[in-house]
């Protein structure tokens, strides 16, 4: 079945770039997403990319997609304390109504 | 208005109680979703409503009963829950079932005693 995998933790110094990686197995994945969840809050859709794109940039966020390797990454430039959260990678295919989430990467920022 | 709102924020209930969770969106979205999220886990899909009709039930126990009174509102009725049902319940919506970007509410944190 479909699977999405992420590393569980990432620690980054304030001001550095953070890179969160994700791999997925479903070759029919059409949409890939990054969601952010702060403690006690719901999920915030940060960005998403269609599978026919390689890259998408939105202010401090850059998403890279390597469809051949089924690898997705989220780069956060100039990481700030407000970026501390759990980041979920997710995918869906055009034929399915559901989104498959990874287990989430907890990003912590050190001074 | 790009918000999904949920009430209440917190709920404590006994195993014999009946309660309801409410979700509202005014984005004109025609697909709405209920998810359950346990601590340190990703959200798990429970139900999908498409144009106010139930389209997906992920084998959820009948003690959870969803309802979609109109295109802006989604309810989740709870009855005879178990302590293991304690979780964060998240509502989401998307423009339609084929538009995959889902927007989430802040959730209701439920504790079953």
**What one-character DSSP code corresponds to residue A2?**
-
pLDDT of residue A88: 97
CA distances from B63 to B43, B73, B112 (A): 19, 20, 13
Q: Return d(Cα B72, Cα B52) in angstroms, integer.
A: 9
Between the alpha carbon of residue A15 and those of residues A58, A79, A80, A107, A111, the distances in Å are 18, 5, 6, 14, 9
A97 with B97: Cβ contact below 8 A: yes
Distance CA(B40)–CA(B27), nearest Å, equals: 30
B93 and chain A: CB distance < 8 Å anywhere? Answer: no
Tell me what percent of chain A is helix, strand and coil, each rounded to the nearest 5: 5, 60, 40
Residue with tokens 């014999």: B16
Give per-10-residue mean pLDDT for chain A (111 aa): 87 97 86 93 92 92 94 97 96 78 96 89
**B66 and A CB contact within 8 Å:** no
Which residues in chain B touch residue A88, judged by CB atoms under 8 angstroms apart?
Answer: 42
> Which is nearest to A87 in space by CA: A12, A30, A32, A34?
A34
Following DSSP, what letter does each residue of A32-78 receive, concatenated? EEEEEE-TTS-EEEEEEEETT-SEEEETTEEEEEETTTTEEEEEESS
- Encode pLDDT of A61-83 as tens digits: 999 999 999 999 999 999 999 99
Q: How far is B97 from chain A (nearest CA, A)?
A: 6
Q: Rounded CA gap, B113 and B106, in Å? A: 22
Cα B26 from Cα B68, distance rounded (Å): 14
Instruction: For residue A93, list its beta bridge partners.
Output: A29
Contact across the interface for A42 and B56, Cβ inside 8 Å? no
Reading the block at residue B18, the tokens are 């009946």
Nearest to B105 among A35, A42, A92 (CB): A42
Q: Is B104 an 8 Å CB contact of chain A?
A: yes
pLDDT for res A51: 86
Q: Considering only alpha carbons, which residue of chain B is nearest residue A9?
A: B40
How far out from the chain centre does Cα A83 lie? 13
By the 8 A CB rule, do A7 and A74 touch? no
Q: What pLDDT score was predicted for residue B13?
A: 94
Contact status of A99 with chain B (Cβ, < 8 Å): yes
Q: Do B42 and A33 touch (CB under 8 A)?
A: no
Q: In 3D, which of A73, A97, A26, A13 has the Cα closest to residue B99?
A: A97
Residues of chain B where predicted confidence (pLDDT) is lower than 50: none
Residues of A in contact with B50 (CB under 8 A): 97
């Amino acid at each position: 079945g479909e699977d999405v995998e992420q590393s569980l933790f990432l620690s980054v110094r304030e001001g550095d770039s953070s890179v969160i990686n994700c791999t997925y197995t479903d070759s029919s994945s059409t949409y890939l997403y990054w969601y952010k969840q702060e403690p006690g809050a719901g999920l915030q859709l940060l960005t998403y990319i269609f599978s026919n794109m390689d890259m998408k940039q939105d202010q401090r966020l850059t998403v890279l997609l390597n469809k051949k390797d089924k690898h997705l990454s989220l780069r956060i430039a100039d990481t700030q304390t407000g970026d501390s959260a759990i980041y979920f990678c997710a995918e869906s295919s055009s034929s399915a109504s559901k989104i498959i989430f990874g287990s989430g990467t907890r990003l912590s920022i050190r001074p | 208005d790009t918000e999904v709102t949920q009430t209440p924020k917190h709920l404590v209930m006994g195993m014999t109680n009946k309660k309801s969770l409410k979700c509202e969106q005014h984005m004109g979205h025609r697909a709405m979703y209920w998810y359950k999220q346990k601590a340190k886990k990703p959200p798990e899909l429970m139900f999908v409503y498409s144009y106010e009709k139930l389209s997906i039930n992920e084998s959820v126990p009948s003690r959870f009963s969803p309802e979609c009174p109109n295109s802006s509102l989604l309810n989740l009725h709870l009855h005879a829950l178990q302590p293991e049902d304690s979780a964060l319940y998240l509502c989401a919506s998307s423009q339609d079932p084929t538009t995959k970007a889902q927007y989430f509410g802040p959730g209701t944190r439920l504790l079953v005693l």
